[in-house]
Amino acid sequence: GHTAIVVLLLEAGAKVDATQVEGVSALFTAAEMGHAAVVAVLLEAGAEVDLSTRKDGTRCTPMLVAAERGHVAVLAALLAAGAQVDKSRHDGQTPLVAAAMNGHEDVLTALLEAGANVNR
């Protein structure tokens, strides 16, 4: 997770929502990889919780990729930071659908408890 490195970079003035060429932010990458401690540091530093990326031609949020990958601890941190539980990708897929499609029951349960719309 390289939490200490992220802290050093932020202390040196790195922009928390800076993106790579594809529009991928540090928060998105940490969520995708399941690095809950890094996600917490980035959120504490003011990262935009619902910032969409253009990765692979999609408009995907950290919440959606965490749900898709089954990272329930990351999902919990994003929800606590105010992430939109039903924010969808460019094609309409929501975090709830991503969790269901990938068999992540614990993530599905967390999303339902957070008020995810089952009809969206």
pTM value?
Answer: 0.92
Residue 118 lies inside a defined structural domain of this protein? no
Domain range for 13 is 3-113
For the ranges 15-24, 48-57, 63-72, 87-96, which has the lowest average pLDDT?
48-57
- Tell me the CATH number at 105: 1.25.40.20
Cα gap 21→12, rounded to integer Å: 22
Residue 12 lies inside a defined structural domain of this protein? yes
Which residues, 6+ apart, have CB-to-CB distance to 73 below 8 Å? Answer: 34, 36
Is pLDDT at 1 greater than 70 in this prediction? no
Q: What is the pLDDT of residues 59-71, one digit of tens each?
A: 889 999 999 999 9
Q: 94 near 59, Cβ under 8 Å?
A: no
Residue 18 lies inside a defined structural domain of this protein? yes
- Tell me the average pLDDT of the chain: 93
Cα gap 64→66, rounded to integer Å: 5
Structural domain count, the chain: 1
